[in-house]
């Protein structure tokens, strides 16, 4: 007996209990079937689901359910990205241990996820903070350490001089610590690095073999890896350094540049404040010492460094220009970054905007050496010679980023082709002037000639360079995976042996400032695995990006106790569809690709890339409402606390606070956040309307890769549609079982409805399978339901046609609103759960039309429409178009100059 009215709570509860009981979403390896591994980025257990989660997991669920209906062996897992900074902050605020806080949050959020009706195999659930997970991360670390793919070096961090802690970039606000307010300093500390640069070439090249990734993400990764083609240039130091002042490279200052053709325009050389030459020059120079000290203030974030005012100071030292022998001053400049390569650049103010700005400020000479062929004389650096690649890829950088990024030999044809491409763009534009024997050469000729001369003098060579830097993974925090290293006074850094893994992080701790395990002898006191004498454990933990770089593989065999991955990973990997926020386009996705190659090279996985298809979802945004107090402080109100008044055409007039009826300012539409108080709790939405309405609204409001704007009335619209669908099926059900369809005796209205139903199916299949645009799939079904509502034919064939159309609608919407469709599918007379129903096939015979509409244009403007047989020839189309009265009027008796016929679409008559 079907209920007359749609009651989401009852429908959803029954469906979720049934799915749990039958275990229909449990995934088992089955080599006889095509697998489909669908993965959404796992959540950080922050406390409650937010709308971004709902959106992410609904997208993944729709794809999973669709692929299951297509007959694929689908696996959709879920887990917890459980280590991280917020747990430590919450621990300090609420006096609870990070572990307890994290597990409680995961428990709550798991229930929330289940109430969304996701087709997840919960038996594969994992949490990265569990020793049975992170022990394998520690195991891989020790393997990589032994292979030399992990090494130790010092690197700068943000140091809070008041709290005596290392700060994340996020915790540095305007150059000050977020809690102490103290001016942050850069401080060098020893850290472990993963040699991602050893894989730079492969990470770059394989982007070309990822057709299932968005072009924009591949472009961002290419630019991030940043391969450039340039030259290493050596400037001899003059006068030669006194004994003991060198730094291992002899008496030359090395720089890397992508523009050796402009070398004759170099007027000074600039080094970073941390450069040994700067430090040596500062000895006995209080002014320079003070300047170098000043450069240490502020955080390490690149965006801050790149936007700060350019400052510098002469070192009093000079170098010799390698080609013309001129003496050039060496400056210390805050815009030269020590973390990058040699930390020294050659400055060509005439042809680089930053050098130009710096030279202007400090009255340094500017020598123009390029002539713009097509336009004429360039007057300053901003005239467009700049190659746009910035200091990272421009002429900063140096002889390898620390370790592992030496230049390549430039011998293969593949390499030669890339060098040619690098030259080509600039050759049409410029020619050298005022450059001695190089004057008159093009960019590429000068590049080669200067490189050859430098090589002959042994003062430089052609070289490629990556912008990508090695990945520093040490964190001075507690709530993370312990780095499995033992520091022995005699044996040095010793990896923890396999039989002593995991190094378990103590969970029962009290948190104040700093990591508790650094003050816990029971944790760090140990014996050296090699010599047995007293030694100390490393107390740093790993970057949480390490855990999230391989979890996708562990889902294949989450219970494997003998190995990081077992043979089940071979069946499930790679991930067929990965879904997550666009904010992860570079870091997470690059690290995961890197880790996949690391695991491949130790024989754990057998493919080259982890994610075959990638969908990057947009943000969830909502309007903001605020009042500004007299002192300029902004107080934000939640959209739920506010009434918005509209005029008679629906334009917003203003908004008032419900509590006091007084006006509030309508701010911009921004990403849902705590600070703007514009978040909408998905739980209240699920409680009020049910999960299906929440799912339908988030899928309908915009395509998945664009931002999604929250709208209360949009949610009501979604709910309304589900009620109408229920009502249609109920009305049909109440008439009793429909007779079988007789395709041979259909009237026009019946044929039209069938055609629309099958055209919708064709479109929706494409939307789900290829385009991943669920909003248009829903819109097409709304149109079909509108047509069904107008179709009031109660004849036998009419009811048969309606039965077919309703069945198709229910099947097409099942991936998006699975609970509702499960009930409707049963009421339409099917015993199986719609979750395992077969995706329907388009009936091509239903699509055949006797006549089609053709648009007639005169001079590109719409002037009429003609109905014509779909197989009509060009001449009969032309004749029919010219016969149209309105077309005749616009031709005004003139003969057509040209007639363009686009078959099946339009005809354009040009006069």
Partner RNA sequence: GCGAAUGUGGCGAAAUUGGUAUACGCGCUGGAUUUAGGUUCCAGUGGGGCGACCCGUGAGAGUUCGAGUCUCUCCAUUCGCACCA
Give 290's contacts (C-beta < 8 A, 6+ positions apart). Answer: none
Determine how many CB atoms are found less than 10 A away from the CB of residue 4: 12
> Cβ closer to RNA: 64 or 541?
541
Please list every residue from 874 through 903 that binds RNA, using CB under 7 A.
886, 889, 898, 900, 902
Residue 899, SS3?
strand
The span from the CA of 728 to the CA of 293, in Å, is 75
- Tell which one of 18, 360, 445, 775 touches RNA (CB under 7 A): 775
Angle, CA 59 vertex, CA 2 and CA 600 arms, to 5°: 135
- Give the orientation angle of helix 587-601 with respect to helix 131-146, to 10 degrees: 70
Please state, in angstroms and as integers, the Cα–Cα distance from residue 195 to each residue in 137, 149, 472, 619, 729, following that order.
16, 5, 9, 32, 60
Cβ burial of 601 (10 Å; 0-12, 13-18, 19+) is middle
Strands (E), 560-712: 575-581, 611-617, 620-628, 634-637, 642-646, 652-657, 663-671, 708-709
Which string of x and - marks every residue 429-458 that binds RNA (by CB under 7 A)?
------------------------------
Which string of x and - marks every residue 93-122 that binds RNA (by CB under 7 A)?
------------------------------
For the bound state, the minimum distance from the C-beta of residue 856 to RNA, rounded and expressed in Å, comes to 9
Which string of x and - marks every residue 64-83 that binds RNA (by CB under 7 A)?
-----------------x-x
670 contacts 619 by C-beta, under 8 angstroms = no
For the bound state, the minimum distance from the C-beta of residue 587 to RNA, rounded and expressed in Å, comes to 5
Please list every residue from 482 through 501 that binds RNA, using CB under 7 A.
none
> Cβ closer to RNA: 453 or 759?
759
- Tell which one of 112, 285, 455, 476 touches RNA (CB under 7 A): 476
The span from the CA of 872 to the CA of 773, in Å, is 34
Taking the CA atoms of residue 254, residue 260, residue 262 and residue 264 in that order, the dihedral angle to the nearest 10 degrees is 60
User: Whose structure tokens read 């002899």?
Assistant: 250
137 contacts 546 by C-beta, under 8 angstroms = yes
Determine how many CB atoms are found less than 10 A away from the CB of residue 23: 10
* Under rule CB under 7 A, residue 205 binds RNA: no
* Under rule CB under 7 A, residue 471 binds RNA: yes
> Cβ closer to RNA: 90 or 292?
90
* Under rule CB under 7 A, residue 668 binds RNA: yes
User: Whose structure tokens read 């709790």?
Assistant: 681
Give 47's contacts (C-beta < 8 A, 6+ positions apart). Answer: 105, 108, 109
- Tell which one of 19, 37, 44, 839 touches RNA (CB under 7 A): 44
> Alpha helices of 635-704 — where are they, by DSSP H?
682-689, 691-700
> Cβ closer to RNA: 329 or 480?
480
The span from the CA of 86 to the CA of 95, in Å, is 13
Options 499-507, 523-531, 642-650, 818-826: segment touching RNA (CB under 7 A): 642-650
List the structure tokens of 594.
């890197």
* Under rule CB under 7 A, residue 652 binds RNA: yes
The span from the CA of 810 to the CA of 797, in Å, is 20
Determine how many CB atoms are found less than 10 A away from the CB of residue 65: 26
For the bound state, the minimum distance from the C-beta of residue 190 to RNA, rounded and expressed in Å, comes to 10
> Cβ closer to RNA: 73 or 300?
300
Please list every residue from 215 through 234 that binds RNA, using CB under 7 A.
215-216, 219-220, 223-224
> Cβ closer to RNA: 721 or 825?
721
Please list every residue from 363 through 392 that binds RNA, using CB under 7 A.
388-390, 392
- Tell which one of 469, 695, 758, 819 touches RNA (CB under 7 A): 469
> Cβ closer to RNA: 739 or 860?
860
* Under rule CB under 7 A, residue 47 binds RNA: no
Residue 538, SS3?
coil
The span from the CA of 730 to the CA of 752, in Å, is 23
Please list every residue from 305 through 324 that binds RNA, using CB under 7 A.
306-307
For the bound state, the minimum distance from the C-beta of residue 181 to RNA, rounded and expressed in Å, comes to 18
- Tell which one of 49, 511, 708, 813 touches RNA (CB under 7 A): 708
Residue 298 DSSP symbol: S
> Cβ closer to RNA: 267 or 548?
548
Please list every residue from 836 through 855 that binds RNA, using CB under 7 A.
853, 855
The span from the CA of 331 to the CA of 344, in Å, is 10
* Under rule CB under 7 A, residue 584 binds RNA: yes
* Under rule CB under 7 A, residue 514 binds RNA: no
> Cβ closer to RNA: 473 or 553?
473
Strands (E), 412-546: 430-432, 460-466, 471-472, 474-475, 485-488, 492-495, 525-527, 534-537, 541-542
Cα distance from N-terminal residue to C-terminal residue, the chain: 67
* Under rule CB under 7 A, residue 84 binds RNA: yes
* Under rule CB under 7 A, residue 544 binds RNA: yes
Kindly report the length of the chain: 911
> Cβ closer to RNA: 389 or 656?
389
* Under rule CB under 7 A, residue 786 binds RNA: yes
666 contacts 742 by C-beta, under 8 angstroms = no
The span from the CA of 686 to the CA of 114, in Å, is 12
> Cβ closer to RNA: 783 or 843?
783
> Cβ closer to RNA: 96 or 852?
852
- Nearest Cα residue to 450 out of 633, 266, 687, 307: 266
For the bound state, the minimum distance from the C-beta of residue 106 to RNA, rounded and expressed in Å, comes to 12
List the structure tokens of 647.
């005029």
The span from the CA of 623 to the CA of 162, in Å, is 38
Please list every residue from 161 through 200 that binds RNA, using CB under 7 A.
166-171, 189, 191
For the bound state, the minimum distance from the C-beta of residue 118 to RNA, rounded and expressed in Å, comes to 19
Rg (CA), the chain: 34
- Tell which one of 125, 427, 709, 884 touches RNA (CB under 7 A): 709
For the bound state, the minimum distance from the C-beta of residue 711 to RNA, rounded and expressed in Å, comes to 6
* Under rule CB under 7 A, residue 280 binds RNA: no
List the structure tokens of 683.
């739980």
> Cβ closer to RNA: 367 or 782?
782
Options 100-108, 146-154, 765-773, 872-880: segment touching RNA (CB under 7 A): 765-773
* Under rule CB under 7 A, residue 861 binds RNA: yes
* Under rule CB under 7 A, residue 157 binds RNA: yes
Options 24-32, 119-127, 550-558, 767-775: segment touching RNA (CB under 7 A): 767-775
Please list every residue from 390 through 409 that binds RNA, using CB under 7 A.
390, 392
For the bound state, the minimum distance from the C-beta of residue 349 to RNA, rounded and expressed in Å, comes to 16
The span from the CA of 727 to the CA of 788, in Å, is 11
The span from the CA of 813 to the CA of 785, in Å, is 12
Give 907's contacts (C-beta < 8 A, 6+ positions apart). Answer: 854, 855, 856, 857, 877, 878, 881, 899, 900, 901
Which string of x and - marks every residue 722-741 that binds RNA (by CB under 7 A)?
-xx-----------------
* Under rule CB under 7 A, residue 619 binds RNA: yes
- Tell which one of 375, 513, 534, 646 touches RNA (CB under 7 A): 646
Options 146-154, 261-269, 632-640, 708-716: segment touching RNA (CB under 7 A): 708-716
For the bound state, the minimum distance from the C-beta of residue 389 to RNA, rounded and expressed in Å, comes to 6
The residue count for binding RNA (CB under 7 A) is 114
For the bound state, the minimum distance from the C-beta of residue 628 to RNA, rounded and expressed in Å, comes to 17
> Cβ closer to RNA: 490 or 849?
849
* Under rule CB under 7 A, residue 53 binds RNA: no
């Amino acid at each position: 007996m079907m209920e007359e009215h749609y009651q989401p709570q009852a429908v959803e509860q029954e469906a979720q209990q049934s799915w749990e009981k039958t275990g229909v979403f449990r995934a088992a390896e089955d080599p006889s079937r095509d697998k489909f591994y669908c993965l959404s980025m796992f959540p950080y257990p922050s406390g409650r689901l937010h709308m971004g989660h709902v959106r992410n997991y609904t997208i993944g669920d729709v794809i999973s359910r669709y692929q299951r209906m297509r007959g694929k062996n689908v696996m959709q897992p879920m887990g917890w990205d459980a280590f991280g900074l917020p747990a430590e902050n919450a621990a300090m605020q609420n006096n609870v241990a990070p572990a307890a806080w994290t597990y409680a949050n995961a428990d709550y959020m798991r229930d929330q996820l289940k109430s969304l009706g996701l087709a997840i195999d919960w038996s594969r659930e994992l949490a990265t903070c569990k020793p049975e997970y992170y022990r394998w991360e520690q195991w891989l670390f020790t393997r990589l350490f032994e292979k030399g793919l992990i090494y130790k070096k010092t690197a700068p961090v943000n140091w809070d001089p008041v709290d005596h802690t290392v700060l994340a970039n996020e915790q540095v606000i305007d150059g000050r610590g977020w809690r102490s307010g103290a001016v942050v300093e850069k401080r060098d500390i020893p850290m472990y690095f993963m040699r991602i640069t050893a894989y730079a070439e492969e990470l770059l090249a394989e982007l070309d073999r990822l057709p299932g990734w968005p072009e924009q993400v591949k472009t961002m990764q290419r630019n991030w890896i940043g391969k450039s083609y340039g030259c290493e240039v050596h400037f001899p130091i003059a006068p030669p350094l006194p004994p003991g002042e060198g730094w291992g490279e002899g008496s030359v200052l090395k720089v890397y540049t992508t523009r050796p053709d402009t070398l004759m325009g170099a007027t000074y050389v600039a080094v970073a404040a941390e450069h040994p030459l700067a430090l040596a020059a500062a000895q006995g120079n209080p002014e320079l010492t003070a300047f170098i000290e000043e450069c240490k203030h502020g955080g390490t974030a690149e965006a801050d460094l790149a936007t700060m005012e350019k400052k510098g100071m002469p070192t009093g030292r000079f170098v010799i220009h390698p080609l013309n022998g001129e003496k050039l001053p060496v400056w210390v400049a805050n815009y030269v970054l020590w973390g990058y390569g040699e930390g020294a650049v050659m400055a060509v103010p005439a042809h680089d905007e930053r050098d130009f700005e710096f030279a202007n400020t400090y009255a340094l000479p500017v020598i123009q050496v390029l002539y713009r062929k097509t336009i004429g004389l360039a007057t300053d650096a901003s005239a467009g010679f700049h190659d746009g690649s910035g200091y990272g890829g421009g002429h900063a950088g140096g002889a390898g980023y620390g370790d592992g990024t030496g230049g390549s030999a430039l011998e293969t044809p593949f390499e030669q082709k890339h060098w040619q491409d690098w030259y080509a763009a600039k050759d049409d534009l410029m020619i050298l002037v005022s450059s001695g024997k190089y004057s008159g050469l093009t960019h590429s000729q000068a590049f080669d000639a200067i490189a050859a001369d430098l090589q002959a003098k042994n003062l430089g060579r052609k070289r490629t360079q990556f912008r990508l830097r090695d990945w520093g993974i040490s964190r001075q925090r507690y709530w993370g995976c312990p780095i499995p290293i033992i520091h022995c006074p005699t044996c040095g850094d010793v990896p923890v042996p396999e039989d002593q893994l995991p190094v378990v992080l103590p969970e029962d701790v009290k948190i104040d400032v700093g990591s508790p395990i650094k003050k816990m002898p029971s944790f760090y006191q140990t014996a050296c695995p090699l010599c047995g004498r007293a030694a100390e454990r490393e107390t740093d933990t790993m970057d949480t990006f390490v855990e999230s770089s391989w979890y996708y593989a562990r889902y294949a065999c989450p219970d494997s106790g003998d190995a990081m991955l077992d043979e089940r990973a071979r069946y499930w990997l790679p991930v067929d569809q990965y879904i997550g926020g666009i904010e992860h386009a570079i870091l997470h996705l690059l690290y995961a690709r890197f880790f996949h190659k690391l695991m491949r090279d130790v024989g754990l996985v057998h493919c080259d890339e982890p994610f075959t298809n990638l969908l990057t979802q947009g943000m969830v945004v909502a309007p903001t409402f605020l009042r500004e107090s007299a002192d300029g402080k902004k107080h934000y109100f939640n959209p739920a606390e506010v009434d918005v008044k509209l005029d008679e055409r629906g334009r917003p007039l203003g908004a008032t606070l419900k509590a006091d009826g007084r006006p509030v300012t309508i701010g911009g539409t921004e990403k849902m956040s705590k600070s703007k108080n514009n978040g909408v709790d998905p739980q209240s939405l699920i409680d009020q309307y049910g999960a299906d309405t929440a799912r339908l609204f988030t899928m309908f409001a915009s395509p998945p890769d664009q931002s999604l704007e929250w709208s209360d009335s949009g949610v009501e619209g979604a709910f309304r549609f589900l009620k109408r669908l229920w009502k249609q099926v109920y009305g049909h059900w109440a008439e009793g079982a429909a007779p079988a369809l007789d395709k041979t005796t259909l009237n026009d209205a019946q044929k039209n409805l069938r055609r629309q139903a099958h055209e919708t199916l064709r479109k929706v299949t494409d939307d789900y399978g290829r385009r991943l645009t669920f909003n248009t799939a829903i819109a097409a079904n709304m149109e079909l339901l509108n047509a069904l509502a107008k179709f009031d034919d109660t004849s036998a064939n009419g009811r048969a046609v309606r039965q077919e159309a309703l069945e198709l609608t229910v099947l097409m919407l099942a991936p998006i609103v699975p609970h509702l469709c499960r009930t409707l599918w049963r009421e339409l007379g099917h015993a199986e759960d719609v979750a395992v129903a077969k995706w329907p096939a388009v009936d091509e015979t239903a699509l055949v039309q006797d006549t089609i509409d053709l648009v007639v244009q005169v001079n590109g403007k719409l002037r009429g429409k003609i109905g014509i047989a779909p197989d009509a020839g060009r001449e009969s189309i032309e004749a029919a178009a010219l016969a149209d009265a309105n077309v005749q009027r616009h031709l005004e008796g003139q003969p057509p100059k040209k007639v363009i016929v686009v078959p099946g679409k339009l005809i354009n008559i040009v006069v």
